[in-house]
Amino acid sequence: MERRHGTFNRTTVESATAQGRTFHTTTIAGAKRSYPEAPDEPKRQAPFENASSIGKELPKLCASAINAADPGDVFPVSEYSQRKAISATPTSTFDRALLLSHPRYALPECLVNNLKALGIKEIYPWQKQCLMGPGLLTGKKNLVYSAPTGGGKSLVADILLLKRVLEDRNAKAILVLPYVALVQEKVRWLRSVVEGIKRRPAEDATKKPQLWAKRPDEDNIRVVGFFGGGMIRSTWSDFEIGVCTFEKANTLINSAIDDCSIASLRAVVLDELHMVDDDRRGYLMELIATKLLSLEHNVQIVGMSATLSNIEVLSRWLDAHSYVTFYRPVPVEEHLVYENAIYPAATTKALLRTASQLEPDLATLLRENAPLKVIDASTHKELQDPVLNAVVALANETARSGYGALVFCGSRQSCESDARLISRVLPAIHELDPDTYEKRLDLVGDLRSLSTGLDPILGETIPAGVAFHHAGLTTEERDLIASAYDSGVLKVMTATCSLAAGINLPARRVILHNARIGRDIIGPSMLRQMRGRAGRKGKDEIGETFLCCRKADLEDVVGLMCAELPQLSSGLTTGRHRIQRALLETIAIRLANSRDSISEYLQKSLLSLSVTRDVISGHIDSSFEGLTSMGFVEVDSSFSYTATQLGKAIVASSLEPEHGAFIHREMQRALRAFVLDGEMHVLYCFTPVHDLSVAVNWQVFRNEMEALDDSGLRVMTFLGLKPTLVNRMAQGGSLKQTTTEEKEASRIYHRFYLALQLRDLCNEMPIHVVARKYNMPRGTVQTLAQTCTGFAAGMVKFCEHMGWGAMAAILNHFSDRLNAGARSDLLALAKITFIKSRTARVFYENGFKSVAAIANADPRELVPVLMQYRLTYPNSIAPNMSSTGATSGISGSAKLNTESTVIDVNTVESHSLPPRLGMMRKMLGGN
């Protein structure tokens, strides 16, 4: 396999890698795992804030100064030493092959223009070299490549994927990404890339007379995102490019193989390929690729990552051309910050070498080394901790210079407290220019107008240009915050590792507040991904990273900074029953049905490169034993394997075999005596069974149990839940989980507790109220609702496959309610885009009871209803900023009078209008 090296630009970690030493960290090295939040994280209540609290400033602090360690050092005017060293993207005006309009790429002009408009005027030399690999542009060969973070990997994959889609009118491509945030970003990007591009016309299109006019968008390339609870109704025929999470991609490919429509799939891109090693979800990526390799027709597989250590193994597995480059358009300068001194990362490598030879104390060695800069100790008691002091000083310096700083923290709580502290050292309101301040207040207004209301900490920090970003916020909140940071309205964003991979944001500095996630030290791969957020081409021209480390961690951190990336390996055998799932899927979708063909199938997995045939054979035997004993698979006299009805139902609903068996037992019981005089039993049925990392608050459980009606209590009894046990737990008892029965019982309690939250959501209780009631972050409640929507769709499929039509119909109805967060009467209204349950309720109560009623109404009748909504939920009114000198969003409370039937829309300033009112204003013809 040919392997080339692109333009040479090494980061410190790479140099360390080349040095060939590995140092152990306390976590499972390198895998970029989707870490659950720290279990001991204190829960914060999110009480409503009244509008007057906005703009309230906490007492200001003064960030420590950062000075050159040697006063003789003269730093250039800018603090950023790298400014002088920025090497502009090496381009050659003579190499016409760097232009995407070059005939060898054969790309449509419209595509080239779209990319140009998005800032891609020409490609990097390495991108050209990589695309020129044998058989890549024609789709005959697979590709695995590695380039540093921010190196521009996505563009290579995008071009190959678009070429495949444009070759044939019916061609489809799938792009697989690990996180929902990445899927959303990619969908937005690809939609702009394909805008205006037409697919090839159907071959018989000219011959057949058309009875009806062609829809103008009929030939467009449709880009659809598949993730969590979103777009669950989209199917294979709804897209040309599907952007999916691992789970969705696996399900989509399974059903396409099952119904024989897979032949139209031409390309699959596996981004962040190093995640194949991920403990929890990596094996799904392996299953996807293994299936693609087993298909009769050729699907071009493109895999990429910044952190691949054994690319040769991966390229052998995927039968792919491999390519490696170390080119990064914006070089990143890396630093270690320890005890208020800043050292270049290169020092740590030398230190480690010395330390390993002489074995003295690392801290002593470090102190003897001259730091680049020193940070003054702080006089404030809040900033006594040197790590915190450094984080605040570094963020302050970047923000005051007008650039963006991204601070990675180990937990949600630390994200919030860092954001608060940093906001206290940044310029006070009166020092800001009015335009910036107004934009920040608009952001506060937008957050306030969301149904969850404004988070009080964000209310404090945003006026100073600081916000936090973690899974405790809802997706809408995260979206607003990330785009405000992207556009420069916010200067500092603190985040958990959820923003570490793939995301393009303008971070001049990436600051790591300790190298930990929860209690564990991060792995080298995660470190590289986090640092890779600094200096992204198109977002910033300079990148710096600072790893601020505390005393106790110094040795681990220095080791981590120099550690090699771990070797990637298969995740198929790391968890229980994964091979079982692999086999059940293959048999259910009829990809293989004999012992030989199944063995052949597993020979195409990554696992087969690291174990012998005999080991795989052993796995197959034990998995079959399990599958047949659970009744998922049958074997006939000619040794042909088929999936049973239950086996097919489990695959169709994307359940793991173990969970499938549990659900089947529960559903069978439920079908015998379904409690239908209330909602609890149905809701319980589509509460996910897998671990959602939600701890049960037994006091809340007890309160809710005591408030249950007869029907609810009957459901509890029916499920075998004992009120006495709940009471005991509420008084501090503990739930035994040693035997299988005890574990199963605990799972039922857990599931019932989540079902109680779902009941509230379905009954129009807003997310933030549910979050407060159950003492959980609002983002977690939202994730629960989204996961349940996806799970419910799976349950409907499960019932349909099992022939339980009536049950499927009931679940379908509740699935709609959960989607809408509404009672039955509102279902129709809540389906209107942008209309959530509370707005729907206001419309309903004002006599607009159907979609038709709203569609036929004069917009002038609707505006007062929307205004009434704003009055009913005052928390969502944009704050009146007059007290802070900013202009008011809606001038004069009289205009909010619900009794006024005609509103002078031209006096309503659009920039501070909540989104829906803005739309309404447009409908009414305001500017």
> Judged by CB under 5 A, does residue 532 bind Mg ion?
no
151 binds, among ligand ATP, Mg ion, none (CB under 5 to 8 A by kind): ligand ATP
> Under rule CB under 5 A, how many of the chain's residues touch Mg ion?
2
Q: CB 850: neighbour CB atoms within 10 A?
A: 12
157 vs 630, beta carbon nearer ligand ATP? 157
Spatial CA neighbour of 558 closest among 823, 364, 330, 836:
364
> Judged by CB under 5 A, does residue 889 bind Mg ion?
no
3-state secondary structure 624-688: HHHHHHCCCEEECCCCEEEECHHHHHHHHCCCCHHHHHHHHHHHHHHHHCCCCCCCHHHHHHCCC
Buried-exposed string 38-66: b where 16+ CB fall within 10 A, e elsewhere: beebebbebeebebeebbeeeeebebbeb
Q: Point out which residues pair with 634 in neighbouring strands.
A: 642
Helix (H), strand (E) at residue 341: strand 341-344
Spatial CA neighbour of 128 closest among 8, 7, 308:
7
Q: Point out which residues pair with 305 in neighbouring strands.
A: 146
Q: CB of 788: closest distance to ligand ATP in angstroms?
A: 31
Q: Taking CA 865 as the corner, what is the angle to CA 862 and CA 867, rounded to the nearest 5 degrees? A: 110
Q: CB of 151: closest distance to Mg ion in angstroms?
A: 9
> Judged by CB under 5 A, does residue 453 bind Mg ion?
no
Q: CB of 536: closest distance to ligand ATP in angstroms?
A: 5
150 binds, among ligand ATP, Mg ion, none (CB under 5 to 8 A by kind): ligand ATP
335 vs 531, beta carbon nearer ligand ATP? 531
Q: CB of 28: closest distance to ligand ATP in angstroms?
A: 21
In the chain, helix, strand, coil percent, each to 5? 50, 10, 40
Q: Point out which residues pair with 320 in neighbouring strands.
A: 142
Spatial CA neighbour of 172 closest among 250, 249, 90, 263:
263
> Judged by CB under 5 A, does residue 229 bind Mg ion?
no
> Judged by CB under 5 A, does residue 225 bind Mg ion?
no
80 vs 145, beta carbon nearer Mg ion? 145
Spatial CA neighbour of 545 closest among 374, 346, 370:
346
Build a one-symbol-per-residue string for 467-506: x at contacts with Mg ion by CB under 5 A, - elsewhere. -----------------------------------x----
531 close to 149: Cβ distance less than 8 angstroms: yes
821 binds, among Mg ion, ligand ATP, none (CB under 5 to 8 A by kind): none
Q: CB of 153: closest distance to Mg ion in angstroms?
A: 5
Radius of gyration of the chain (CA): 29
Would you tell me which residues interact with ligand ATP (CB under 6 A)? 119-120, 123-124, 127, 147, 149-155, 306, 502, 504, 532, 536-538
123 vs 769, beta carbon nearer ligand ATP? 123
Contacts (CB under 5 A) with Mg ion, residues 72-131? none
Q: Which stretch, 37-45, 151-159, 317-325, 702-710, contacts Mg ion (CB under 5 A)?
A: 151-159
Please compute, for residue 167, the number of CA atoms within 13 A of its CA located in the half-sphere on the CB side. 19
853 close to 721: Cβ distance less than 8 angstroms: no
537 binds, among Mg ion, ligand ATP, none (CB under 5 to 8 A by kind): ligand ATP
278 vs 460, beta carbon nearer ligand ATP? 278
Q: CB of 556: closest distance to ligand ATP in angstroms?
A: 24
Q: CB of 500: closest distance to Mg ion in angstroms?
A: 12
120 binds, among Mg ion, ligand ATP, none (CB under 5 to 8 A by kind): ligand ATP
229 vs 242, beta carbon nearer Mg ion? 242
303 vs 790, beta carbon nearer ligand ATP? 303
Q: CB of 46: closest distance to ligand ATP in angstroms?
A: 32
Q: CB of 524: closest distance to ligand ATP in angstroms?
A: 14
303 vs 794, beta carbon nearer Mg ion? 303
To the nearest 10°, the Cα dihedral for 681, 687, 691, 692? Answer: -130
Q: What contacts 583, CB < 8 A, 6 or more positions away? A: 598, 620, 623, 624, 627, 633
190 vs 454, beta carbon nearer ligand ATP? 190
274 vs 838, beta carbon nearer ligand ATP? 274
Q: What contacts 626, CB < 8 A, 6 or more positions away? A: 577, 580, 657
306 binds, among ligand ATP, Mg ion, none (CB under 5 to 8 A by kind): ligand ATP
493 close to 470: Cβ distance less than 8 angstroms: no
Residues 919 and 913: their CA atoms lie apart, in Å, by: 9
Site residues for Mg ion per CB under 5 A: 154, 502
